[in-house]
């Protein structure tokens, strides 16, 4: 066993969360599990040749379960437990033990897994009966294409009375979904290739995140959104010009108010080159943009980015959903930004301090509803487009988000699931057995790019088909007639304040 895998004992000991169960009748001793587990859970004893497991190292990524040819493996919750206590939950106790041992900040990956109100699940969608007809998407045209960008407030004409059809730059999406920011570094180059190629095939976009754009991916520029975050990693003129749009990342739903952190161990080779950060040094984004301490500073950056690209790229400003989000969004709408992106409390991450992830920010559903209502109250909703993410899990979430007022949805975690992610939430370890959130070459190559693209394209097309079915049921044949159409939603299990913020009626009303 390597040093890294040594299990402490005594006061430092953390009992395993999972138990790996091997069915001896099925096991054929093929060694696949040993080879597949980068965490060293499956061990063959050098002397006896017998297979055993080190449950403490298991992260429940399901890699061995999926690849065991005889399905001899199962991962279960470990039966050991602390004495039940509704206040001192096992997670909190475990966190205390860890911190007492290390003195460090607790880290987590992926979106907040705690039981929280998922408002999407409290919203129900309408359908036509009798008074107007539902529309069959298999037989009638059904439009899910949408455009993101600024719109003029009045129609201009030339001297002959013809409409001046010039418009600010727009993003054209074949379906109302796009892939949210995941940096090269936090995920592998193969994962980025999957996103880029799938985006091209689907007629949508992926987002570089804050790690710059790998040289090999410049050819997918037309389907790329290049992100500019507080660390400015990998940002130069060529990078800004390479994509279809530029996103200024102010905040992220999983860690509002703090910057990203990619450990020096991951800053190797191409990642160092792409990020423009010396090998081995930590890439730590500052918490704020140090040139944006106020809303007028944001305007200067937005205008600066537009000037750098001759006004040819729409600029997105991405913020985390926080308490004052409606006013913040209103300020952004007036900053010259073309698109506002809002990331909710349950949004994903490659690594975030656990306490921040689980306690800072507000749910995306409420943030979206509040922002859409505020922009309408101020008469500026049509000027800008609104993107939401964190977290959009399925086509029903997309339909509900659009009916609440979004133009389109950022999809992150679901795209990773298509590549094999099983949500073990250990991205920060860098030992992703599925080849996604890792930079270890032998793990990265496990993610077959062609297969990943195929699966991701299928997933998004399936969602789009479902979106069309929902629309047809409502008698709507164009996505723009669904946008902000809150009458198509009703709520259950919601209190008066929630209904008021969401701008919907209780089911039955």
Partner 1 sequence: MREDLARAGLLEGQVRIPAGCAIAAIVATDGKPMSGHDIITSMEPMRERSSGLGGGFAGYGIYPKYADCFAFHFFFDSRDSRKTTEAYLEQGCEVVNRELIPIRKMARITDEPLIWRYVIKPHRSVLSRLQLDENEYVVRLVMHINTSIDGAYVFSCGKNMGIFKAVGYPEDVGRYYRLEEYEAYQWTAHGRYPTNTPGWWGGAHPFGLLDWSVVHNGEISSYDANRRFIEMFGYRCTLQTDTEVITYIADYLLRRQKLSLQETAHVMAAPFWSTIEHLDMRDPEGARKRAELAYLRKVFPSLLVTGPFSIILGFNGGCMALNDRLKLRSLVAAHKGNRVFIASEEAAIRAIEPDARDIFAPAGGVPYIVRVDGVEGGLA
- How many residues touch partner 1 (CB under 8 A)? 39
Closest approach of partner 1 to the CB of residue 158, in Å: 11
Long-range contact pairs involving 135-142 (C-beta distance under 8 Å, separation at least 24): 135/471, 135/472, 135/475, 135/476, 135/477, 136/472, 137/465, 137/468, 137/469, 137/471, 137/472, 140/472, 140/477, 141/477, 142/468, 142/471, 142/472, 142/477, 142/478
Instruction: Decide: is 67 part of the binding site for partner 1 (CB under 8 A).
Output: no
Report the residue number, 195 or 244, with the smaller CB distance to partner 1. Answer: 244
DSSP per position, 90-114: HHHHHHHHHHHHH-S--EE-SS--S
Nearest to 195 by CA among 411, 431, 439: 411
Residue list 374-393, contact with partner 1 (CB under 8 A): 376, 379-382
168 near 314, Cβ under 8 Å? yes
Instruction: Decide: is 154 part of the binding site for partner 1 (CB under 8 A).
Output: yes
Instruction: Decide: is 167 part of the binding site for partner 1 (CB under 8 A).
Output: yes
Instruction: Decide: is 124 part of the binding site for partner 1 (CB under 8 A).
Output: no
In the numeric block, which tokens belong to residue 440?
Answer: 């270890």
Instruction: Decide: is 132 part of the binding site for partner 1 (CB under 8 A).
Output: yes
β-bridge mates for residue 21, sequence order? 74
Pairing of strands 385-389, 408-411: parallel
- Exactly one of 124, 478, 499, 501 binds partner 1 (CB under 8 A); which one? 478
Report the residue number, 427 or 467, with the smaller CB distance to partner 1. Answer: 467
Binding mask 168-207 for partner 1 (x = CB under 8 A): --x-------------------------------------
Closest approach of partner 1 to the CB of residue 151, in Å: 5
- Exactly one of 477, 499, 501, 507 binds partner 1 (CB under 8 A); which one? 477
Report the residue number, 15 or 133, with the smaller CB distance to partner 1. Answer: 133
Length of the chain: 509
Q: Is 430 left (phi over 0), alpha (psi -120 to 50) or beta?
A: left
Instruction: Decide: is 483 part of the binding site for partner 1 (CB under 8 A).
Output: yes
Instruction: Decide: is 276 part of the binding site for partner 1 (CB under 8 A).
Output: no
Instruction: Decide: is 313 part of the binding site for partner 1 (CB under 8 A).
Output: no
Closest approach of partner 1 to the CB of residue 201, in Å: 19
Report the residue number, 41 or 482, with the smaller CB distance to partner 1. Answer: 482
Instruction: Decide: is 265 part of the binding site for partner 1 (CB under 8 A).
Output: no
Instruction: Decide: is 487 part of the binding site for partner 1 (CB under 8 A).
Output: yes
Pairing of strands 315-320, 73-77: unpaired
Instruction: Decide: is 485 part of the binding site for partner 1 (CB under 8 A).
Output: yes
- Exactly one of 155, 159, 237, 294 binds partner 1 (CB under 8 A); which one? 155
Report the residue number, 270 or 383, with the smaller CB distance to partner 1. Answer: 383
Q: How far apart are CA 415 and CA 459, in angstroms?
A: 8
Sign of the alpha-carbon dihedral angle for 332, 338, 343, 344? positive
Instruction: Decide: is 125 part of the binding site for partner 1 (CB under 8 A).
Output: no
Choose the stretch contacting partner 1; rule: CB under 8 A; options: 137-145, 193-201, 302-310, 410-418. 137-145
Q: Give the 3-state DSSP-derived string for 394-454, with helices as H, strands as E and coil as C.
A: CHHHHHHHHHHCCCEEEECHHHHHHHCCCCCCCHHHCECCCCCCECCHHHHCCCCHHHHHH
Q: How far apart are CA 167 and CA 170, in angstroms?
A: 8
Nearest to 319 by CA among 257, 249, 371: 249
Choose the stretch contacting partner 1; rule: CB under 8 A; options: 62-70, 291-299, 424-432, 486-494. 486-494
Report the residue number, 46 or 162, with the smaller CB distance to partner 1. Answer: 162
Rounded alpha-carbon distances, angstroms, from residue 366 to 123, 320, 406, 442, 484: 12, 13, 12, 42, 14
- Exactly one of 12, 29, 143, 442 binds partner 1 (CB under 8 A); which one? 143
- Exactly one of 58, 364, 398, 476 binds partner 1 (CB under 8 A); which one? 476
Query: What angle separates helix 325-333 from helix 295-308, to the nearest 10 degrees?
Result: 40
- Exactly one of 163, 307, 495, 508 binds partner 1 (CB under 8 A); which one? 163
Report the residue number, 273 or 376, with the smaller CB distance to partner 1. Answer: 376
> Alpha-carbon Rg of the chain, whole angstroms?
24
Instruction: Decide: is 484 part of the binding site for partner 1 (CB under 8 A).
Output: yes
Long-range contact pairs involving 63-66 (C-beta distance under 8 Å, separation at least 24): 63/36, 63/37, 63/422, 63/433, 63/434, 64/20, 64/32, 64/33, 64/36, 64/37, 66/422
Instruction: Decide: is 488 part of the binding site for partner 1 (CB under 8 A).
Output: yes
Closest approach of partner 1 to the CB of residue 417, in Å: 30
Instruction: Decide: is 400 part of the binding site for partner 1 (CB under 8 A).
Output: no
Nearest to 21 by CA among 63, 76, 64, 66: 76
158 near 232, Cβ under 8 Å? no
Choose the stretch contacting partner 1; rule: CB under 8 A; options: 21-29, 241-249, 327-335, 373-381. 373-381
Closest approach of partner 1 to the CB of residue 170, in Å: 6
Choose the stretch contacting partner 1; rule: CB under 8 A; options: 9-17, 141-149, 215-223, 456-464. 141-149
Instruction: Decide: is 87 part of the binding site for partner 1 (CB under 8 A).
Output: no
In the numeric block, which tokens belong to residue 425?
Answer: 């939430």
In the numeric block, which tokens belong to residue 508?
Answer: 């039955």
Instruction: Decide: is 474 part of the binding site for partner 1 (CB under 8 A).
Output: yes
Instruction: Decide: is 131 part of the binding site for partner 1 (CB under 8 A).
Output: yes
Count the alpha carbons within 13 Å of 60 in the hemisphere toward its beta carbon: 11
Nearest to 181 by CA among 215, 204, 211: 211
Binding site for partner 1 (CB under 8 A): 128, 131-133, 135, 140-141, 143, 145-147, 151-152, 154-155, 162-163, 165, 167, 170, 376, 379-382, 474-478, 480-488
């Amino acid at each position: 066993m390597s040093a890294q895998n040594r299990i402490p004992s005594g006061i430092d000991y953390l009992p395993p969360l999972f138990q790996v169960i091997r069915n001896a009748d099925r096991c054929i001793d093929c060694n696949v599990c040993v080879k597949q587990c980068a965490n060293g859970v499956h061990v063959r004893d050098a002397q006896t040749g017998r297979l055993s497991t080190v449950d403490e190292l298991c992260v429940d990524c399901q890699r061995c379960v999926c690849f065991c040819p005889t399905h001899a493996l199962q991962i279960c919750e470990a039966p050991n437990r602390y004495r039940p206590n509704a206040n001192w939950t096992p997670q909190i106790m475990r966190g205390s033990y860890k911190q007492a041992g290390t003195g460090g900040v607790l880290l987590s990956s992926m979106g907040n897994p705690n039981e929280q109100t998922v408002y999407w699940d409290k919203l129900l969608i309408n359908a036509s009966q009798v008074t107007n007809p539902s529309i069959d998407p298999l037989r009638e045209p059904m439009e899910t294409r949408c455009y993101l960008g600024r719109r003029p407030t009045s129609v201009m004409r030339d001297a002959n009375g013809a409409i001046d059809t010039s418009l600010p730059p727009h993003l054209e999406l074949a379906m109302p979904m796009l892939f949210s920011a995941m940096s090269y570094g936090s995920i592998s180059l193969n994962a980025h290739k999957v996103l880029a190629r799938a985006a091209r095939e689907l007629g949508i976009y992926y987002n570089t995140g804050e790690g710059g754009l790998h040289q090999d991916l410049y050819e997918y520029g037309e389907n790329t959104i290049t992100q500019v975050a507080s660390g400015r990693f990998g940002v130069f003129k060529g990078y800004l010009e390479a994509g279809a749009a530029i996103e200024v990342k102010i905040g992220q739903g999983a860690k509002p108010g703090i910057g990203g952190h990619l450990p020096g161990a991951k800053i190797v080779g191409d990642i160092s080159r792409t990020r423009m950060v010396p090998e081995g040094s930590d890439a730590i984004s500052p918490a704020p943009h140090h040139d944006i301490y106020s809303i007028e500073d944001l305007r200067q950056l937005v205008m600066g980015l537009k000037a750098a690209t001759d006004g040819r790229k729409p600029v997105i400003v991405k913020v985390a959903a926080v308490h004052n989000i409606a006013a913040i969004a209103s300020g952004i709408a007036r900053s010259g930004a073309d698109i506002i992106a809002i990331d909710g409390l349950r949004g994903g991450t490659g690594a975030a301090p656990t306490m921040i992830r689980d306690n800072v920010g507000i749910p995306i559903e409420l943030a979206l509803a509040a922002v859409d209502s505020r922009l309408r109250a101020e008469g500026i909703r049509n000027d800008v487009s609104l993107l939401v993410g964190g977290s959009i899990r399925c086509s029903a979430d997309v339909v509900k988000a659009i009916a609440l007022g979004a133009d389109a949805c950022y999809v992150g975690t679901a795209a990773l699931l298509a590549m094999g992610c099983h949500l073990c939430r250990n991205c920060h370890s860098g030992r992703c057995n599925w080849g996604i959130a890792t930079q270890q070459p032998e793990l990265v190559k496990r993610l077959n790019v062609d297969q990943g693209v195929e699966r991701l394209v299928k997933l998004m097309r399936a969602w789009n088909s479902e979106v069309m079915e929902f629309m047809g049921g409502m008698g709507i044949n164009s996505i723009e007639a669904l946008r902000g159409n809150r009458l198509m939603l009703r709520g259950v299990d919601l209190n008066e304040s929630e209904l008021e913020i969401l701008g919907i009626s209780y089911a039955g009303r």
